[in-house]
Structure 1
């Protein structure tokens, strides 16, 4: 399966960056799952967990508040006012 390049940043630091097979985030419209090949997207995040399945099979969970999720060309960026690994 093709990988996603994922970056999670808060207002003052990069929280996590790496290759992943799936990202699940909570948006204002509901929970969304991102896999490789996803159509371009810009969404508004709700406070909650961002769950990342890393390319090596590991799981990463970050808590994010007030921000955006951007998806384009298998690159996922989570930009939040506040974010931290859970």
Structure 2
């Protein structure tokens, strides 16, 4: 199963990092789902949930606001002014 390397970072600390099979986040243009092999992209985050589905099927959720989301080579980086696990 192909996985994504994911990092969620707030202004002053790393909130979560690990592997996920899917990441769903809210951007200013709407909600986006990211799977392995996704096109490289950069998007502005809208305030809301970031949901990661882990390889074992469990889920991790964070709230993030005021930042951006980057996807490149199966690596997802979310940098937000405010972010915390839910």
What TM-score do you get using the length of structure 2 for normalisation? 0.98
- 1:81 Cα deviation from its structure 2 partner: 0.2
Once the two structures are superposed, residues 41-61 of structure 1 have per-residue CA deviations (whole angstroms, 9 ceiling, x without a partner) of 100000000000012211000
- The residue correspondences of 1:11-26 to structure 2 (distance < 5 A) are 11-26=11-26
Cα distance between partner residues in 2 of 1:56 and 1:79: 25
Cα distance between partner residues in 2 of 1:14 and 1:65: 15
More divergent stretch after superposition (48-57 vs 19-28): 48-57
- Number of paired residues? 86
What TM-score do you get using the length of structure 1 for normalisation? 0.98
Cα distance between partner residues in 2 of 1:55 and 1:3: 7
- The residue correspondences of 1:2-81 to structure 2 (distance < 5 A) are 2-81=2-81
Gap runs ≥5 in structure 2: none
Cα distance between partner residues in 2 of 1:22 and 1:39: 14
Runs ≥4 residues deviating over 4 A: none
